């Protein structure tokens, strides 16, 4: 089986005054898209699709949040406020911006089994900038126009919220269509059989029926934990590919010509770790995985935070906050602000 095209979205700055996102994205093999090129816009109106068509998908990342609170309070309020635009509504964008949201955008192909990769550095650096009163987590929501998924954890050092800890290895997203029209974005629940069972310390418990996710221990995602001197260690290097999060995308239902999609049943037959292994192998990704006490988790996160902040300083000259300087946020319930 040939390796599918993979698209990795770069972090974008949010501007509430814009009615659409100013998306800067780059694709497989470092192919760049300028503003003169095709706009990969996950907020464009949803049209009917058939097998093989391009389909744009957005991922929203929020550091320092309780995924269950987002699902129970914030996301329902988004639907109530703007059912026609959802997360693409500029007022919602403004609120999310104030809470530290970042976005990635991907171009997928209808009914192709795809693996979207979220770089470790894009996950850990916003977490490292959290204030002490925020939970050390990163949550993710998939969206397309006015439709969006529930929130799930991509990373966590807070076992009170997620039971397990670490950086999630893989998640599976099912895009459900009827006659070519997108109806739902559902996380397909998996288990932690491959990393010690659902009670293992490196098994993150996802909310809202999204199942369980094997994770890579925090100590395996730090320079000190891997025994690499700080001057030769960079979170965006291939050394940390095992700390990336893979998002499997599959299609369920029928297209505009009433042809049944085939990738959805493949997800259902295989767990997400098996699917990831079709595309790439993370060397020793299960090495040194063990149950840990909260004190050691705190120590591991302290190392990751310190290294991430220092690398951000080295690369940018200072730690640049990702919050837009806007006043009068819409304080909807369930969203944790600093």
Cα(168)–Cα(300) distance, rounded to whole angstroms?
16
**What's residue 265's pLDDT?**
87
What residues pair up with 57 in beta bridges, in sequence order? 106
Give the end-to-end CA distance of the chain in Å, rounded to a whole number: 46
Contact call for residues 122 and 104 (beta carbons, < 8 A): yes
**What's residue 303's pLDDT?**
72
What is the secondary structure of 216-274 as a DSSP string?
A: E-GGGGSTTTTT--GGG--TTSGGGGGGSEEEEEEEEEB-TT-PBPSHHHHHHHS-HHH
Structure tokens at 247: 């998002």
Structure tokens at 144: 């397309």
**What's residue 338's pLDDT?**
57
**What's residue 43's pLDDT?**
93
Tens digits of residue pLDDT in 239-284: 999 999 999 999 999 999 999 999 998 887 765 445 444 433 333 3
**What's residue 15's pLDDT?**
26
Structure tokens at 2: 């040939």
Task: Parse the chain into domains and list their residue ranges.
Answer: 8-316
Cα(54)–Cα(38) distance, rounded to whole angstroms?
12
**What's residue 322's pLDDT?**
33
* Maximum pairwise Cα distance, the chain: 57
Question: Which are the contacts of 155, defined by CB distance < 8 A and separation ≥ 6?
Answer: 123, 124, 127, 137, 138, 166, 167, 168, 215, 245
Contact call for residues 91 and 2 (beta carbons, < 8 A): no
Contact call for residues 98 and 330 (beta carbons, < 8 A): no
**What's residue 209's pLDDT?**
85
Q: How many residues does the chain have?
A: 338
Angstrom distances, CA of residue 259 to CA of 63, 251, 256: 39, 12, 7
Which residues in the chain show pLDDT less than 70? 1-39, 270-295, 297-298, 301, 309-333, 337-338
**What's residue 206's pLDDT?**
97
Cα(49)–Cα(29) distance, rounded to whole angstroms?
26
Contact call for residues 218 and 297 (beta carbons, < 8 A): yes
Task: Provide the 3-class DSSP secondary structure of residue 143.
Answer: strand
**What's residue 113's pLDDT?**
85
């Amino acid at each position: 089986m040939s390796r599918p095209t993979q698209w990795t979205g770069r972090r974008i700055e949010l501007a509430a005054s814009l009615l659409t996102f100013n998306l800067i994205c780059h694709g497989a093999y470092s192919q760049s898209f300028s503003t003169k090129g095709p706009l990969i816009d996950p907020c464009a109106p949803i049209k009917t699709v058939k097998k093989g068509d391009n389909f744009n998908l957005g991922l929203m990342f929020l550091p320092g949040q309780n995924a269950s609170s987002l699902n129970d309070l914030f996301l329902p309020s988004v639907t109530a406020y703007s059912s026609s635009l959802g997360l693409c509504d500029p007022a919602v964008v403004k609120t999310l911006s104030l809470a530290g949201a970042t976005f990635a955008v991907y171009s997928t192909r209808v009914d192709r089994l795809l693996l979207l990769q979220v770089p470790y550095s894009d996950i850990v650096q916003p977490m490292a900038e959290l204030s002490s009163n925020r939970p050390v987590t990163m949550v993710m929501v998939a969206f397309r126009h006015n439709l969006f998924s529930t929130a799930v954890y991509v990373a966590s050092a807070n076992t009170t919220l997620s039971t397990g800890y670490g950086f999630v290895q893989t998640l599976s997203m099912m895009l459900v269509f009827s006659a070519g029209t997108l109806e739902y974005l559902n996380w397909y629940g998996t288990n932690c059989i491959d990393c010690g069972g659902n009670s293992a310390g490196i098994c993150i418990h996802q909310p809202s029926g999204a199942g369980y996710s094997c994770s890579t221990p925090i100590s395996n995602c730090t320079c000190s934990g891997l025994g690499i001197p700080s001057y030769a260690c960079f979170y965006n290097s291939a050394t940390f590919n095992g700390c990336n999060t893979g998002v499997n995308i599959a299609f369920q239902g029928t297209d505009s010509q009433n042809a049944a999609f085939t990738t959805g049943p493949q997800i259902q037959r295989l767990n997400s770790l098996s699917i990831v292994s079709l595309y790439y192998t993370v060397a020793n990704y299960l090495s040194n995985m063990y149950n840990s006490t909260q004190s050691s988790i705190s120590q591991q996160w302290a190392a990751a935070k310190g290294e991430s902040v220092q690398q951000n300083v080295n690369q940018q000259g200072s730690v640049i906050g990702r919050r837009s300087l806007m006043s009068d946020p819409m304080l909807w319930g369930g969203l944790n602000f600093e």
